[in-house]
Amino acid sequence: MAENPQVDEVTGTETTGHEWDGIRELNTPLPRWWLYIFYATIVWSFGYYIAYPAIPMVSSFTKGMLGYSSRAEVAEKITAAKAGQKIYLDKIEGSSLEEIRTNPDLLEFSLASGRAAFNVNCSQCHGSGAQGVKGYPNLNDDEWLWGGTLDAIHFTIANGVRNDQSDDARTSAMPAFLKDEILDRAGVNDAAEYVLSLSGGGADKEAAARGKAVFSENCVDCHGQNGEGLAEVGAPALNNAIWLYGGDKKTIVETISFSRHGVMPAWGKILDEATIKSLAIFVHSLGGGK
C-alpha cells in the first residue's frame, strides 16, 4: 500500500487500498486534537503503571509506587465509620434500656444499628421483616414466649434459648405427653379440643369437656387456669389467635404428643453489649413491645 498510495478522486483523500465490490476504503486522517488526546492517554498510562497496582504476575502483581490498595482504602473507611459511631456506642453501652428508648438521638441510632444487626444475625430464622415462620416467633406481634418488656427481650437475646453457651439460657420443659406415655391418644385428643376451645375454636364439645380435666391435671401449672400462659417458664398463651407452630387441630395434637423445644443462640457470647441493646430496642419497637 505504502509504495502505491491511491487517492480517491472525489474526496482527494488517500485510500487504504482495500476494495469491496468497487467500494474503496478511505484512509481519512484522525482529527489532530483526537490524536493528541490519544497519545496523551498512552503517556498517562505509563505513569499509571508506575504509580498504581497494574501488571499481573504469576502469583502476585506489581504493587505500584504509591502503595495504593482498594482493600486498605475500604478498611480505612470502616475504621473511620467505627470511630464516628463510637460516641453513640459508648453511650448506649453505658445507658439503661429505658434511657436509650426515651432519648431521641440514642433511639434513632440504636434502631438503625439494631436493624442492621438483626438483618445479619437474626433474619435467617425470624425473617427479614421479623415476621417469623413456623417454630420461630413473629416478633411484630404482642405475644412473647419469654416476656415482651425491654429487659426480658434483652435477656432472651443475650442468653438465648436452650443452648450450651449460656448458663442462663431460657429453657422450657414441656413433656412429650404421648411419647413419654403420660397421656394416651384419647387424652391427647381431648386436651387438644379443649385448647382449641380456649380461643373460641374446636368442634367437639364433649371432647373439650373431657379435655378440661386433662388440662387441669397436666397443663395449668405452666399454661395457667385459662391458658393465659406464663412467660417465666416460656409457656405460651393458648387463649388467643397467635400460634407458633399452627393453630389447627392436627398441629396441636402433634405439639402435645411430642412437645416442641425451640432453640436460639446466646448472642451475648457472640455480639458486644451495645449491639445486644440495640437489638433489644429494635425488636421492642417492632410493635409488640410491652
| Positions in the binding site for other proteins (CB under 8 A) | 28-29, 31-32, 101-104, 107, 127-131, 138, 140-143, 237, 240-242, 285, 287-288
Grid cell of 270 as nine digits: 457472640
Query: What is the 8-class DSSP label of residue 182?
Result: S
Q: Which is nearer to other proteins, 31 or 56 (CB)?
A: 31
CA atoms within 13 A on the CB side of 184: 1
Q: Give yes or no for a contact between 199 and 238, defined as CB atoms under 8 angstroms apart.
A: yes
Of the candidates 71, 189, 130, 74, which has an alpha carbon nearest to the alpha carbon of residue 197? 189
Residue 143: CB minimum distance to other proteins, A: 5
Residue 103: CB minimum distance to other proteins, A: 6
Q: Which is nearer to other proteins, 135 or 175 (CB)?
A: 135
Residue 225: CB minimum distance to other proteins, A: 17
Residue 194: CB minimum distance to other proteins, A: 19
Sign of CA dihedral 142, 145, 148, 153: negative
Whole-number Å distance between alpha carbons of 107 and 96: 12
Q: Which is nearer to other proteins, 99 or 168 (CB)?
A: 99
Residue 134: CB minimum distance to other proteins, A: 14
Residue 4: CB minimum distance to other proteins, A: 23
Whole-number Å distance between alpha carbons of 7 and 28: 11
Residue 70: how many other CB atoms lie within 10 Å: 8
Q: Give yes or no for a contact between 190 and 206, defined as CB atoms under 8 angstroms apart.
A: no
- Tell me how long the chain is: 290
Residue 121: how many other CB atoms lie within 10 Å: 17
Residue 101: CB minimum distance to other proteins, A: 7
Sign of CA dihedral 8, 10, 12, 13: negative
Q: Which is nearer to other proteins, 237 or 264 (CB)?
A: 237
Q: Which is nearer to other proteins, 125 or 242 (CB)?
A: 242
Q: Which is nearer to other proteins, 157 or 237 (CB)?
A: 237
Q: Which is nearer to other proteins, 129 or 175 (CB)?
A: 129
